[in-house]
Structure 1
């Protein structure tokens, strides 16, 4: 299993980095290539979502294709910063306020049946569009946001293994601990401290306290994104969202934290861009 996991990572990571750094930037004739790359992620994630959420019949069959079409349309139609900011703020409200309630009440996806088509879009589309927006700030800017999830997950894992005693959410994800969450936050704070602030528009004008506050917010939503997907899988009795990524489970298993981080980070970025 470890060998398979490592081999998959060795294939996927260079592919992601090549796409981020070498596909043409937005505003050029090659911008369609990056949108298409993000669209492929949306298709895979939406295919897993229709399985995870218990969609049935024709809706389940067409959902991945319909998601790709809507994503492509939104990437072309929602093109002003103010429109994008409104969408990202709406997604941020979901992650910051609705998700804690969801985790507390443990609402069941099965109760919504095919209406989960809407929830899936609310989770997936803002994150996909955020990938497009943040890349306009530059490949390093996007990579630095993605790295928040990786740093948080890695630090939480090692701190949890070493010091974990108090369960964070035993009925949702028994392996997670408060000590691990604290380690993840510490890792992101250290990462943010050393992060070159000029990668973002007027980033160097923000105080260190503001940057660290942003780090706390993004780490918090990262944990909630992880827990929310774990809750969905537990409710339906699935270990992984799929087997698309050998050794890693499914696409949603790899991007659960990013679904939350990306729109919130994008909302913060657009706010400074506009105001």
Structure 2
């Protein structure tokens, strides 16, 4: 299992780097829409839509709607949707944990709608960051989340004792979260120093702290998907990525982090 996981991860990194730094804007657009299509298909499965044809229909219609919606998505609408979606996700995770797994998100309509809006704001953020901010800062925004996940994994295995949300994701610990946050903060400090050479010390520390805060919030993307998987009695969102599961299993944290990162860079610049 480890070798397929590493091999798949290397392929994914190559695709991301190639898309960011070598693909045209149009190719990047189509690539992100294709990613959204798969994510919507898997989200239908997590929403307990068991008929394959209905899953495909939701994914196709959803991605078409998403494609045309992006052309009319203003910054204000994006901000409002991001606040609504993330607040709802946090509430669902909190309630599921507080009720010891008894009350989650039962309405399929709400699950489908929430997942669609989550993919919508993520897609818009990925396109705007690549087109209007910079490929380097987009890569950094993703790398911060990966550093958070990696740091949390190793520090959790080494020091984890206090469960973060045992009814949602028993393997996560508070020690893992803080270890991941430290990894994210160090990476952001070093990366911003080279990416923004004119930045002041105060801005460097401030931006690194905000990126780390975003990385912390990204954990709710993972936890929210865990709630949906537990409700649907599924281990993974899909099987498209050998050793990793589905697309949503790989981008669940990014679904939260990318919209917030876009707002951060929009404010900074």
Shared fold per TM-score greater than 0.5: yes
CA contact 1:35–1:75 (8 Å) conserved in 2 = no
CA distance in 2, matches of 1:114, 1:60: 13
Matched residues in 2 for 1:125 and 1:49: separation? 13
Corresponding residue for 2:20?
A: 20
Deviation at 1:103, TM superposition (A): 1.2
Whole-angstrom distance in 1 between the partners of 2:241 and 2:76: 32
SS of equivalent residue, structure 2 residue 245: coil
Of the three residues 188, 191, 195, the one matched with 1:192 is: 188
Q: 2:72 pairs with 66, 69, 77, which one?
A: 77
Alignment of 1:36-185 (within 5 A): 36-55=30-49, 59-78=54-73, 83-95=74-86, 97-106=87-96, 107-109=103-105, 111-136=106-131, 137-185=133-181
Contact 2:211 2:261 in 1 (8 A): no
Distance 1:70 1:207 in 2: 39
Distance 1:232 1:129 in 2: 23
Contact 2:145/2:254 (CA < 8 Å) preserved in 1? yes
How far off its partner does 1:206 sit?
6.2
Instruction: Tell me, yes or no, if the aligned pair for 2:141 and 2:211 is still in contact at 8 Å.
Output: no
What root-mean-square deviation, in Å, do the aligned CA atoms of Structure 1 and Structure 2 show?
2.2
C-alpha distance in 2, partners of 1:182/1:46?
31
1:196 match: secondary structure: helix
Q: Contact 2:148–2:184 (CA<8 Å) still a contact in 1?
A: yes
Show structure 1 runs of 5+ residues with no match.
Answer: 25-30
Question: Aligned partners of 1:138 and 1:158: how far apart in 2?
Answer: 30
Q: For the Cα contact (< 8 Å) 2:144–2:212, is it kept in 1? A: no
Counterparts of 1:198-213 in structure 2, within 5 Å, are: 199=195, 207-213=203-209
Shift of 1:152: 0.3
**Equivalent in the alignment of 1:4:** 4
Change (3 A) 1:151 1:176: same
Structure 1 pair 85–266 and aligned structure 2 pair: CA distance change class (3 A): farther
TM-score by length of 2: 0.89
Tell me if the contact between 1:92 and 1:267 (Cα under 8 Å) persists in the aligned partners: no
In 2: Cα distance, 1:59 partner to 1:205 partner: 53
What SS is found at the alignment partner of 1:207?
Answer: helix
CA distance in structure 2 between the partners assigned to 1:138 and 1:13 by the alignment: 18
In structure 2, C-alpha distance between the alignment counterparts of 1:265 and 1:159, rounded to whole Å? 25
TM-score by length of 1: 0.87
Q: Which is worse superposed, 32-41 or 211-220?
A: 211-220
Compared with structure 1, are the counterparts of its residues 90 and 198 closer, same or farther at alpha carbon in structure 2 (3 Å cutoff)? farther
Aligned length: 260
* Structure 1 residues 164 and 112, CA gap change in structure 2 (3 angstroms): same
